[in-house]
Amino acid sequence: MLIGNIYGVFVAFTSNPWHSTRSDKIGFHIEATRLLLEQGEWLRRQGGPALLIAAEDVGAVGYIFDARIIDLHGLTSPAVAGRDRAEVTDMVLAARPDYIQAYSHPLINSPTFSELYEPVPDVPWHLYRLRHK
């Protein structure tokens, strides 16, 4: 009886699509956090607190990197909270941050963004730097 119960629990956990999907998501988040911590370390070496950064994923980067950060989603930037994405795009581009970390924000589709920023090679997780003219 005990073996049957153990087998039943094993089958439930190994064949449950929710469990395998959840495990995949956890694995993704662990890897994403590792990449963001690496990005934060890289940013810290670029200039420290004097830099201005705009970021979609503030958490790990902000934890490692002590700088001024504009949170593109407004969670830690009150000036951004409650504004629509077009307003946020205009605000960020007017502020001219030294680096922008973005992957899904409409900001990256702006022609002005493309003129002002270039991808940073060899740094994980969608990082762009202000072009120097």
> In the prediction, which pLDDT does 70 show?
94
Q: Which of 7-11, 81-85, 90-94, 127-131 bottoms out in mean pLDDT, i.e. has the lowest?
A: 7-11
Section 99-126 average pLDDT: 91
Of the two residues 61 and 81, the one the predictor is more confident about is 81
For the chain, what is the largest distance between any 2 Cα atoms, rounded to a whole number of angstroms? 75
**Of the ranges 26-30, 37-41, 95-99, 104-108, which is most confident?**
95-99
Exposed e or buried b for every residue in 63-102, given b needs 16+ CB within 10 A? Answer: ebbebebbbbeeeebeebeeeeeeebbebbbeeebbbbbb
